[in-house]
């Protein structure tokens, strides 16, 4: 999950796509009684003259666990597009990298956090636990 920027520049690869599988930490899932599985990350990068690197990520994963309303088994495919900028000088708006290697993990983790629904339902019109 790293882009070796200096090596890519030396090889003349200023823009390219990439793809990898990712196993997120368990505590990244914010939906109670659920887990995140089968994370696939696809993306592309472009290195600019000032050594900043734009990265476009598409993060796909399966959110599975118990329905937030009725506790039945539930699953949901989630897809999220994120565009981020990595810069070699720290600022408050972008991701920082040391000018050599970019660790994509923080950007992927942030994309997963931003894309999670607040609840997971077994079906759109779930009424909750039937107590009759």
Q: Which residues in the chain come in under a pLDDT of 70?
A: 131-132
Give the per-residue pLDDT at 131. 67
**pLDDT tens digits for 60-98?**
999 999 999 999 999 999 999 999 999 999 999 999 999
| pTM score | 0.89
DSSP, res 26: G
Q: In what side-by-side order are the strands of the sheet with 53-66?
A: 15-22, 34-47, 53-66, 73-87, 95-96
Query: Could you tell me if 108 and 12 are in contact, meaning their C-beta atoms sit under 8 angstroms apart?
Result: no
Strand-pair partners of 15: 46
């Amino acid at each position: 999950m790293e882009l070796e920027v200096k090596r890519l520049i030396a090889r003349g690869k200023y823009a390219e796509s990439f793809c990898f599988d990712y196993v997120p930490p368990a505590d990244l899932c914010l939906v109670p009684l659920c887990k995140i599985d089968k994370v696939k990350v696809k993306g592309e990068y472009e290195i600019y003259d000032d050594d900043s690197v734009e990265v476009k990520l598409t993060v796909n994963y399966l959110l599975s666990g118990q329905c937030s309303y009725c506790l039945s088994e539930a699953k949901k495919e989630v897809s999220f597009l994120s565009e981020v900028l990595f810069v070699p000088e720290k600022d408050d708006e972008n991701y920082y990298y040391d000018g050599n290697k970019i660790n994509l993990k923080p950007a992927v983790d942030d994309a997963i956090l931003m894309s999670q629904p607040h609840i997971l339902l077994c079906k759109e019109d779930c009424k909750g636990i039937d107590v009759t």
